[in-house]
Structure 1
């Protein structure tokens, strides 16, 4: 079997595009100049790719996915910016992925092994980690950072410049306007608020009872004890001496520009 790209006769491929070995391009797909699609990627019908865009191996674009479009930012003036996608991601129907802006670092970046379900939107200058699931109609505004193993339920979204920490879970319809700490579960329906830790997700990923107990204790310090953030942070610093997970939580709290979701 040949490793040459398999291109449907109705697809339009710019001469400046680069296709890896074993790539398949479906009917009526459009691949523009300065687009690189890695080995083994599968592009379904009616997908469109604009550059500069770099896509790693093993990704699947199911149908009508719009990849590498100009950022939806009035300050964008046509400067060279990029979209960079890692490996083995799945992009379902009508997902939209925008390039970065010069003012936001110039790159929108998506990691490895993510699932972005129908109508999800990743705006300019977002950074998405690995092993995330974005359910239908997930929406990230510009400059949002999402960690690893994050699950975002349907019709949920994040305000620009927010961060969502590793192993967080956003419920259906949750709209967050502040930073979501690692391990935190955010309740759905309109303005999201913390509702405990993502215990079930942590168990599935191999966290033992001792680690989960330490994370629960840290959550209670931050959200249940009624402490001012500065005082809660002092107690977390003590807890972090015996827990790398609490240290990770504390480092997240100290590293943000937007207020912590509380």
Structure 2
């Protein structure tokens, strides 16, 4: 299952049923879980923990040093969960000491070609990043979010659960959960209704989220009054409560 031209450090921990392609390089502090397939010409370095049933395609660079001038060789880590697909020329960097020391990726994510995930990013589950999308350092992406082709997210920003960032868009503020952000620089385009319907959200939930979006992100009145006006929806629909909580804790401000 390991091609004879692959270079595997004796210190690496690799499950017996892993497949590693030609000319790939696996470093000493790497562990790879059962059922994972590594294509040809892949480089995996650093303290990198990869779970089960992942598929990493050719020419990906996984777990290399963070692209941060403050990085001075400290031991930091990359953690990747299970059943992720990482396509060609994707780069995923380890964390930095100043950012907590870990870049973390969840489960069942799809990273298409030429994706960049920088140091200290926290990625949830079932996220899609289309070709050329990039995350700067310290970015958090919630479950089921989608970043379209060449979308970029500024450092220290957060993309909420079930959010959509459009083609060529630059998010320099947080993207609220369940919403769409489109344009350069990205501006709000309402609730991600099509995405929510594909994931079987009920129509009453979608209507409640739409009302919350209009009051919180389209109404230029006082936010406290908008939140008070949504008290009934927040009590009935947990998604509305999560949207309000996201906006309240945002430090960079939210895309409107």
Aligned residues: 256
Q: What is the Cα deviation at residue 250 of structure 1?
A: 1.1
40-49 vs 226-235, greater mean Cα deviation: 226-235
**Cα distance per residue 1:191-218 (max 9 Å; x no partner):** 1101011111111111011111111111
Specify the alignment match of 2:162 in structure 1. Answer: 167
> What value does the CA root-mean-square deviation take over the aligned residues?
1.1
Specify the alignment match of 1:9 in structure 2. Answer: 4
**Cα distance per residue 1:86-141 (max 9 Å; x no partner):** 00000000000000000101000000000000000000000000000000011000
> TM-score w.r.t. structure 1 length?
0.95
- Divergent runs of 4+, >6 A: none
Specify the alignment match of 1:124 in structure 2. Answer: 119
Specify the alignment match of 1:85 in structure 2. Answer: 80
Q: What is the Cα deviation at residue 171 of structure 1?
A: 0.7
2:95 is paired with a residue of what secondary structure?
A: coil
2:120 paired with 1:140: no
Q: 2: CA distance between counterparts of 1:92 and 1:150?
A: 18
2:184 paired with 1:184: no
Specify the alignment match of 2:194 in structure 1. Answer: 200
Q: 2: CA distance between counterparts of 1:244 and 1:23?
A: 41
The match for 1:26 among 10, 21, 24 is 21
Specify the alignment match of 2:240 in structure 1. Answer: 246
Q: What is the Cα deviation at residue 237 of structure 1?
A: 4.2
Specify the alignment match of 1:256 in structure 2. Answer: 250
> TM-score w.r.t. structure 2 length?
0.97
Q: What is the Cα deviation at residue 242 of structure 1?
A: 2.1
Whether the aligned pair in 1 keeps the contact of 2:181 and 2:255 (CA below 8 Å) is no
Specify the alignment match of 1:114 in structure 2. Answer: 109
Q: 2: CA distance between counterparts of 1:235 and 1:83?
A: 43
Q: What is the Cα deviation at residue 256 of structure 1?
A: 2.5
Q: What is the Cα deviation at residue 251 of structure 1?
A: 1.3
User: Unaligned 5+ residue runs, structure 1?
Assistant: 1-5
Q: 2: CA distance between counterparts of 1:218 and 1:111?
A: 29
